[in-house]
Amino acid sequence: MPVAHTVTNISGRVVIFFRELHHDWKITALRSSMHWLLYQMVLPYISIYTLGLGATHTQLGLVNFIGMAVAGFISPFNGWLIDRIGTKAIYLIGVALLALSFLAYGVAQSWPIIILALMAYWIGFTVSMHCCAVICGNSLTRHQRATAMSCCETLAMGLMGMLGPMLGVFLVTTFGGINTSGIRPLFFIALAGTGGSFFLVVTQISNRRWGDSGAAKASFFADLNQVFRQGRNLKRWLLVASITYLPQGMVIPFTQVFAREAKGANEFVLGAMVTGFALTPFLLGIPLGRLADRIGRKKVLYLVAPLFWASNLLLIWAPNSFLLIVSGVLLGFLSVNLVITGAMTFEMVPPDQMGRWMGITRFCRMLLAAAAAYGAGILMDTIGAQYVFLFVIVLDILIRIPLLISTPETLTIQTRAEEPAV
């Protein structure tokens, strides 16, 4: 009886927690889950597909650099527009660009077309996730935030992130294996699914605006300067957040290529690595989010950092397929790291500056990741692929962790003018 009572009590609290969450947050969490299912389906094969169209490693880094850099440059304008005209219209543009990206991948016959595909993807991803971040940052209370974000991570990056690679392995095997002909149909399937998520945003997301659209029309740069009046911790945090995001440009695009070329991984191992990447947030996303809401964000970030380092070392030294999959599981702590870092980012400015602040952080993050992607491609073609993964570890230890130590804990600091209503 005590066990049954405990289970009932916990279940009741879970139901109450989700019932209190804002409708827009629930819809954007569902949209994100749909995106991650589709993206994780194609992720193990994107770089291999690009190389199959004739690109070198340096050119692979170049196309990632161009796509991420363009997305980074428009990020501050995204935030400014969101604060001025609202989230929904910008959100729809982002999802439409994701659809365009998958279409370009599907019809590509040579690697230069991938530049267009990656530009559309990174702009669309940045715009849609920017809108998602604004909704998340403004519609959740401080003590809901890390838990709710981790729930989204568990569903999107976790459950959907595991189902996506499994579906991808089945489809690639069905269509002919790891070659351009076997991979190409996945992009058309992703295109159809993205069309469904576009319809979801059209019909379910409200037109609510959190910024003060009735305020005097300050200039774009004056608006950005207003954000930085919050204090010097914002500039320091930009560097922390940017280095945290750097593996998106330097590690993620090259992990599958390294496993394929240096370790001989087949489609099943590549799919299992990405499934393992999703398994970590699925199992640990919510518990670590709850822990971050209780003991503080920084302590959890210190906890997961060595596990991310271990994933890179294991990828380099793995003598067999099993350890390659384990490295993928450990790489999943990068997702946890990004979510907890995102929670801290939200808590540094008031709601009416959220769009601009998200734009500034995404600008810095994307430009650093873009440069890292190009540099990683050059390293792989010249010095050696393993140095790409070692460099990320050194940068994390020598720069990000010391800056994180000197940054105040946001859970205990009241930076908001008021908590948002739900």
Res. 295: pLDDT tops 60? yes
Which CATH number goes with the domain that contains 80? 1.20.1250.20
SS3 content of the chain, % helix, strand, coil (to 5): 85, 0, 15
Give the Cα-Cα-Cα angle 87, 28, 212 (nearest 5 degrees). 25
With 0-12 CB in 10 A as exposed, 13-18 as middle and 19+ as buried, what is 228? middle
| Residue among 290, 353, 285 nearest 137 (CA) | 353
Residue 351: both structure tokens together:
């709601």
pLDDT (0 to 100) of residue 218: 52
- The predicted-structure confidence for 231-244, as pLDDT tens digits, reads as follows 567 888 999 999 99
Q: Is residue 211 part of a domain?
A: no
pLDDT band at 11 (very low <50, low <70, confident <90, very high): low
- The predicted-structure confidence for 266-288, as pLDDT tens digits, reads as follows 989 999 998 999 888 888 888 88
Mean pLDDT of all residues belonging to the chain: 84
Return the minimum-mean-pLDDT range out of 65-74, 185-194, 244-253.
65-74
Return the minimum-mean-pLDDT range out of 6-10, 54-58, 238-242.
6-10
- The predicted-structure confidence for 312-324, as pLDDT tens digits, reads as follows 999 999 999 999 9
pLDDT (0 to 100) of residue 82: 77
The number of folded domains in the chain is: 1
pLDDT (0 to 100) of residue 214: 46
Model's pTM, two decimal places?
0.77
Q: Is residue 220 part of a domain?
A: no
Q: Is residue 69 part of a domain?
A: yes
d(CA 334, CA 21): 26
Q: Is residue 411 part of a domain?
A: no
d(CA 383, CA 387): 7
pLDDT band at 153 (very low <50, low <70, confident <90, very high): low
With 0-12 CB in 10 A as exposed, 13-18 as middle and 19+ as buried, what is 18? exposed
- The predicted-structure confidence for 307-351, as pLDDT tens digits, reads as follows 999 999 999 999 999 999 999 999 999 989 998 998 888 788 777
Q: Which amino acid is present at 214?
A: G
pLDDT (0 to 100) of residue 414: 43
Q: Is residue 286 part of a domain?
A: yes
Q: Is residue 422 part of a domain?
A: no
User: How distant, in Å, are the alpha carbons of 30, 33, 197, 277, 320 from that of 164?
Assistant: 15, 10, 16, 11, 24
Q: Is residue 377 part of a domain?
A: yes
pLDDT band at 86 (very low <50, low <70, confident <90, very high): confident
Q: Is residue 341 part of a domain?
A: yes
- The predicted-structure confidence for 107-140, as pLDDT tens digits, reads as follows 999 999 999 999 999 899 988 888 887 787 677 7
- The predicted-structure confidence for 196-218, as pLDDT tens digits, reads as follows 999 999 988 887 765 554 443 45
- The predicted-structure confidence for 392-420, as pLDDT tens digits, reads as follows 999 999 999 999 999 888 776 543 444 44
The residue segments making up the domain with residue 273 are 21-204+231-405
